[in-house]
Structures are given as structure tokens and as C-alpha cells.
A and B are shown apart, each in its own frame.
Chain A
Amino acid sequence: MPKTSSKSKPKTNPAREFVFGDLWEFDPAPETADPKVKKKYNLFIGGAFVAPHSGKYFATINPATEAKIADIALADASDVDAACKAAQKAFTTVWSKMPGKERGKYLYRIARLLQDHAREFAVAETMDGGKPIKESRDFDVPMAAAHFFYHAGWADKLEFLAPGRQLAPHGVVGQVIPWNFPLLMLAWKIAPALAAGNCVVLKPAETTSITALKFGEICQEAGLPNGVVNIVSGAGETGAAVINHPLTSKVAFTGSTEVGKIIMRSLAGTEKKMTMELGGKAANIIFDDAPLDQAVEGIVNGIFFNQGHVCCAGSRLLVQESIADEVLAKLKRRIATLRVGDPLDKNTDLGAINSAEQLAKITDLVKSGVEEGAEKHDNGCKLPAKGFFFRPTIFANVSMSHRIAREEIFGPVLSILTFRTLEEAVEKANNTAYGLSAGVWTDKGSRILKMSTLLKAGVVWANTYNKFDPTSPFGGYKESGFGREGGKQGLLDYLKAL
């Protein structure tokens, strides 16, 4: 559409639409599959579930009901030591001697078993983490299985990764993952590590340990040699023990930039290799020639997917000034239809915020947005009486200096800024310490490629958002971290050139 046409367009009445509001209640549509969750989970070390050395357990709760689900073993330094030794033993006696072809077959088995247990894992994931069942069922679990399937095939083809160079695994890899995609992040970490010939000690996030420990059961079912995968649950101290253990020669971390920096400092005196997948404050940029209805869907997916608990969430919306009012109006209409509530309900769009702590952080940042003068809109929906929930929220009239435009909120909160020219959009998009991802919406192919070239971000989504694939490298520029996950580039980060 030529630029002038939008200006000269006569004012017309807005398109008619059906808005039923709360006229009719949706019937509940709960997913009822049995998640097969135990009352108590021990640590997965050396192929067996073992009680923690200290005898201590902590409760994991369902953030949608605040009800306790299970007791999770708390691993201390001596448990982590046992896990690292088990991994080292598995590496030297079994895993490093096994031909890649055989290693690959174990990964294929794991992929298949995850598919077999898919619904069970999806329900467990949703109960423990709060994400909508439609996401855990259609995204998290199938994508986790896909990651194992993809990497399985690499295990006997590593010599094609770095032509002319001899490669070797690191040995024992220490991995610490976040709570936003518990099983999927585990798959992103474990699948390439094992394909490359490493053994792993992985620490799941404190609030979401269940699917990681259930994954231990999958390893047993697959007959994976003892000690190749070890899962140690716990909080920050457990993670620090994994990262600082002398046997972990490579460390892979996904989490906040703040913790990433702490890890970098604590490993400064060592020669450990690192991969850091840290925070983000992505710009989602809408040009005036973009297909607006499609863009609005992309904006909604970009910020409200997984309650906005996504490091690459499109949390800064940059809209070209001429269409800013229209986009805001469309967004307000769209979020009115988003359903917030029981994560296990198949019709739920936004589930529970992962923890009380995260809810407090989101609430605080939203408060700062109001206080700093941005214009807040939410969909005003009813929230469940129990559990941690937050309405999908949009801030208009945000300026670059506002906290909500600079800090990672990690919640369902969108900040809208405007721009006039392409150069201004790039300047605003890149004006952040982060550089994980960005979105571009325009009808013009050459502009997409220009934007993709100019944006300082590891992933650029054009006319789409929040797309992932095992074959596609993911990771950040600047303070969003270093190293990639996925594709041949990600796999190479689990190998060293001799």
C-alpha cells in the first residue's frame, strides 16, 4: 500500500465485530490424562534414583492452585560430587568408547520414548510450571522429542561439523536450566551434549523439577548407560556446585543475565568452556505496510506465549507512527478475547505465572510503568481466586528511558514505542544491552533483509515470531550471552577442536 493512502483514507466507522464479553461462560475443558507424578522424587545419579545425602526435600507446587504436588530432593555439594563422578566414570568407561552410531541409537530411543509419554509429560509440565496445556502439548513436549531426534543423527557424523579439524567431546558438562520451558530446555542442553559424546550433570530450576526427574525415568527405560545423564535438583547453591565442580569442563547455562555474569565471574580463574543463553528485551518492529491483522497475531504470540516467560519475548513493540493508533486499537480488541485461567483447560491462552516471586517482579515493573507515565491497558478479565495470575497488559506511550522499556519483565506485559523512519527503528531496537531476538513486520522483502542485517540480535523473525526448530541455531549477541543452541553451530559448542 502506498504511504499516502493511509493518510488520505477517509474516516470510517470501525469494522463491525462480535464482542460477547462474559455473556456466556465457556464450559471447562480440562485435560485429564494422568501425569504419573510421584509424591516424592529422588536425585537421578549413576542411573538410579537416590536419596539426597542431607535427607532434605523441598516442596514443588502447582502455581495455578498453590497446592503441593511433590517433594523434590535437595542436592547438596556432596550429591553433586557424586553425580559428577558418576558422569566422569560413564564418560571414561563407556560413553567415550562407544561408536557415534551407537550413541545416536540411544538418542533416537529417547526421542521415541518422549513421544510415547508425550501427554503424560505435557500434563506434568503444565501442573508444575503453570503453562497452558495447549502449549506444553503442542509445543514443549513435541519440540523436546524433535531435539533428541535431530541430534541423534549427528552422533556418527561429527567429522562434518568442522572440516579439516579433529574434534573431541569436553567430557563432563554441567548444565543449569530455567523454569520457563523445563523439559524443552533440558532437551536443548542434553541432546547436543550426548550426541557430541559428553556426559552431563543437569540441574533443573527449583520450581520445575518434575519433568527433568521424569526424564531420568525415560533414560532408564531407554537403557542409557548409567551415569551418562545425571539430574540433581535444588536451588542456586546446587547450581553453583554443578558449575564450580572441578570435573565439569564445560558449563552451559540458560537464565538471567545477572546470574550469567555471576557464573562468568566465578569461573574466571578456570579454563572451563561456557555457553550462556541469557536475557532479552526484543524489539518487535511493525512497519506501516505490514499485514496488520497478521502482525497483531504475531505481536500477541510474541509477548503472551507462555505468559511472556520467554527470554526472546517481543516485549518492546516498535510501531511506525502512522499506524500506531490503529495497532493499539486492534491489540486492545484482541487481548479482550484472551482467556486467562486454569492451565490444564484446553481453551486457556494464558496460564499461571510460574511463582509468587515472579508475579511480584512483574507487578513491581508494571507499577513502575504507571508511575513513570506510560498508559496502561489490560483486558480486565476475572482472575482465579487462588494461584499466581496476571492479566495480559499493554503499555502505550512508553519512552526508551522507562524501566518497562529497558528491563526484562519476563511476564505478559507489552511496551509500545513508536518510530518514524527505518533508521530510528533500528536505533531504538539496538539501544539495549541485550541482543537475543527481534521481529520485523513489513510487506517488502528487501526491507526485511536490510533490517535483519542492521539488527544486533541472534535471531530475527520476519513476519512471524517465536518460531523454533532443532535445526535452527538460537542464541544472543551482547549481554544476551554467547554460543548457540540448535543446528550445527550449536552442536559445535559441545566439542573442542584438537
Chain B
Amino acid sequence: MTRLHITKTPKCYVGGAFIRSESGRVTELHDASGAFFANIPQCTRKDLRNAVEAAAKAGPGWAKRSAFNRGQILYRLAEMMEARGVELADSITLSGVSKSEASREVAAAIERVVHYAGWTDKYEQVLGSVNPVASAHFNFTVTEPMGIVGILAPDDAPVLGLLSLILPAITSGNSVVALASITQPYPSILLGEMLATSDLPGGVVNLLTGVRSELIPTFATHEHLRAISGVANAEERKALRLGAAESVKRVCLLKAEEPIDWLADKLQGAEEIRALIEFKTTWHPIGA
């Protein structure tokens, strides 16, 4: 008799715990051949608000971690992903993507994590400054995280696209609430499991799966989300920017209707970090 294998119930990673949607709703996920694969949680606005709360709790502690410590934790995430790279690549092939293409995406995603692990204690020196003012003041500009960043992942590149958006945010100490790819949600479930074992404090990264159109209005108007970063179509961009205006939220969006080469090096680096930080300038008199 062959052993009946244990199927996994996909759960979202929120506040360091694995949750189902409070609504109890799920979406059936099928593999490339059309066979039933699993039920994916269909998160609601309430789930989103709960995730923002979790991010708010975790954010200040994460921002206070030393840059060195944040770097080590991100590097640890790369280690966790490397160990489960095959499984992650397999999850990408669910959508019909070839094995080699999926492996390439996972490899690039891990490289990107290492890239940002190295940035944690360097971007401040690249982006901040000591300013040579004309008066007798020591004047310097440092960066600070914005707070909680809402992230809207693209449909394609379910691992690399999602991580390319999350990493620059958390590198500087932001916490994030991300909505994973709608068409390929399962890789984000695995990513949640890797985040959970990476020493990243629970609540710093919160990953939701669900219906975009249901959640975008809340992403747009939730005042505790201080920035929105992601990929969106024209209609969504307008809705997000309209909502953002109410609390002068920062919005940086890529166009969903244009192809994005997620493998490109220009999608990572100090400018991506810069988009999700605030600059603070301090004036201090020089004198006795």
C-alpha cells in the first residue's frame, strides 16, 4: 500500500504567525495541468488592517536594530532560501513556467537578498550627508524609514518581483504589508515560511494573498501605510494616488502594462532604498 501523502494547507504569514483569512474564504489553485493543487486564503480588508497593526507593532523595533544586525538577518534569509531553493522553484513551475526559468528566478532572488543584506550598513553613507552650511553649525542629513510600506506585487515573477519590492523597504528599517501575485500566490506562502525561519522579527514582513480589487481601496486610504510601492495598472494607479492624497502618502508605482525585466540590475540598489526613506536634517551650533 502506498502511503497517503500529507497535503499542506497554505497559510499567510502575518505578524510572525501563519493565518487563514478571517473571512474563511479561499481560492482554489490549480497546477499547470489544471489539477487541483491547494486552497489559497482570500484575505479581506480586515486581514489587511490586522496586518498593518502587526507591522506597526514590529516596525519600531526593526528600525532600531543595528544596521549590521539587519544585514545579518537578511543574509540569513538568503541562507534559508538557498536551502529550499528547489522547492521554491517548483512552486513557480505551478503556473507553467519551465523548470530552468523558475530556477533562474529563484537564483536571482537569492542574489538580490544578498545584495540588500550588504546595503543595510552602507546606504546611509551613500544617501545621507554632512552639509557645509555657511553659518557656524554642524549640519547633517540622515535617513529614516518611512514606517509601514504597502506593497503590491506583480502577477509575474512571483518570487523575484515580490522580493525586489520588499527588500529595499526593509533594508532601511521599514515594515511591510505585501499583497502577493494574484495569479501565482503559492510561492509567497513558501517565502513566508522562509521569512519565519530567517530571524526577521515577526510582523516586519506580512504577506497576504487575495483579490486585488477588494484590497486596493484599503491600501490606498489606510493612513498608517505611509508609502505604497509596487506594480499596478492604470486604473489601480489612479485609485491608489487618489487615496494617497488624503494623507499625503508617498506612492512609487511601476506600470503593469509595460514589461518589467526583474532580472535587471537597475531594479536594485540605493535609489530603490532612497524611494522609501525620509531625510532628516539636524542643525547643531558649533561653539563652546
Contact = CB atoms under 8 A, between A and B. Distances in A.
Interface of A: 146, 162-165, 257, 260-261, 264-265, 267-269, 271, 276, 278, 433, 448, 452, 457-464, 467, 469, 471-475, 477-482, 484, 487-489, 492, 497-498
B245 A265 contact: yes
7 contacts: A264-B248, A265-B245, A271-B237, A464-B283, A471-B131, A481-B248, A487-B129
A475 B137 CA distance: 19
A467 B245 contact: no
Interface string B251-270: 00001000000000010011
B282 A467 contact: no
Contact of A460 (B129, B266, B283): B283
Contacts of B133: 467, 469, 471-472
Interface stretch (B49-57, B105-113, B156-164, B273-281): B273-281
A265 B279 contact: no
B279 A473 contact: yes
Contacts of A269: 234, 237-238, 241
Interface hub of B127, B131, B248, B284 (most chain A Cβ within 10 A): B248
Interface in B213-237: 226, 234, 237
Contacts of B132: 471
Interface residues of B, number: 38
Given A162-B271, A260-B248, A487-B141, A472 B283 contact: yes
B131 A472 contact: yes
A460 B279 CA distance: 11
Given A165-B269, A264-B241, A462 B285 contact: yes
Contacts of B282: 448, 452, 459-462
Contact of B271 (A165, A457, A464, A474): A165
Q: What are the 6 A-B residue pairs with the smallest beta carbon separation, nearest first?
A: A264-B245, A268-B241, A469-B133, A471-B131, A268-B242, A479-B248
A261 B246 contact: yes
Nearest to A496: B271
A484 B281 CA distance: 10
A457 B142 CA distance: 12
Contacts of B285: 462-464
Contacts of B237: 268-269, 271
Given A452-B282, A467-B135, A472-B281, A479 B241 contact: no
B244 interface: yes
B238 A460 contact: no
Contacts of B248: 257, 260-261, 264, 276, 278, 478-482
Contacts of A261: 245-246, 248
B277 to A, nearest CB: 10
Contacts of A492: 274
B131 A473 contact: yes
A489 B143 CA distance: 11
A258 to B, nearest CB: 11
